[in-house]
Amino acid sequence: MVGHIGDFGLAKILSADRLNYSSNQSSFLGLRGTIGYAPPEYGMGSDLSTKGDVYSYGILLLEMFTGKRPTDERFKEGLSLHKHVKAALPNRVIDIIDPILLQESVRGGTIIDITLNENRLGNDRHLQCLNLIFEIGLTCSAQSPSERMDMSDVVTKFCSIRDKLFRPT
């Protein structure tokens, strides 16, 4: 119930291993990844793919920035980490950010409590970047593999966020 490095690259590792097993032995590959991080299509018998790895990455990204695991008790009865984040964007990003990330923001040598004024979302570069990061996590963890980003696009978007965050004001 905890994401592991082995959840990423399953398509490459297990697809190559599949060549070494007879059809009777390949049923051992039925469990593909960790619960909560494995994409929904794997539960329906779909073949391993890089899009499945992207899904795992997206869930991990959402987990890192919300501080909530996809297997958290609150995510039952149709609610999921993905849906939780999606419902909060773009205007309530403050409600879903891990409280540790919200404690303080350093700007110009002054510590600012960014939780006090939600109206600053449009003006606060840090919160805008967090919103963009959540959007990447949502796109990567989309239900349908065809809706997920390629990792090269993820890298491009993260470089853009980095440039926005660290550009001189």
Q: Tell me the pLDDT tens digit for each residue of 102-138.
A: 765 444 333 344 444 444 444 578 888 999 999 999 9
* pLDDT tens, position by position, 49-96: 889 889 999 999 999 999 999 989 998 888 999 999 999 999 899 899
Given a contact cutoff of 8 angstroms between Cβ atoms, the answer to whether 64 and 100 are in contact is no
Domain annotation for the chain: domains and CATH numbers: 5-166 (1.10.510.10)
What is the pLDDT averaged over residues 17-41? 59
Please, which pLDDT band fits residue 46 given cuts at 50, 70 and 90? confident
Q: Alpha-carbon distance 55 to 35, whole Å? A: 12
- Report the amino acid identity of residue 50: T
Given a contact cutoff of 8 angstroms between Cβ atoms, the answer to whether 93 and 84 are in contact is no
Q: Tokens at residue 111, please?
A: 């510590």
Which pLDDT does position 43 carry in this prediction?
75
Q: Alpha-carbon distance 51 to 53, whole Å? A: 5
Q: Tokens at residue 97, please?
A: 């950010």
Which pLDDT does position 118 carry in this prediction?
47
Burial class of residue 159 in the structure, from the number of CB atoms within 10 Å of its CB (0-12 exposed, 13-18 middle, 19+ buried): exposed
Between 30 and 34, whose confidence is greater?
34
Q: Tokens at residue 120, please?
A: 């600053």
Q: Which residues are registered as beta bridge partners of 106?
A: 111
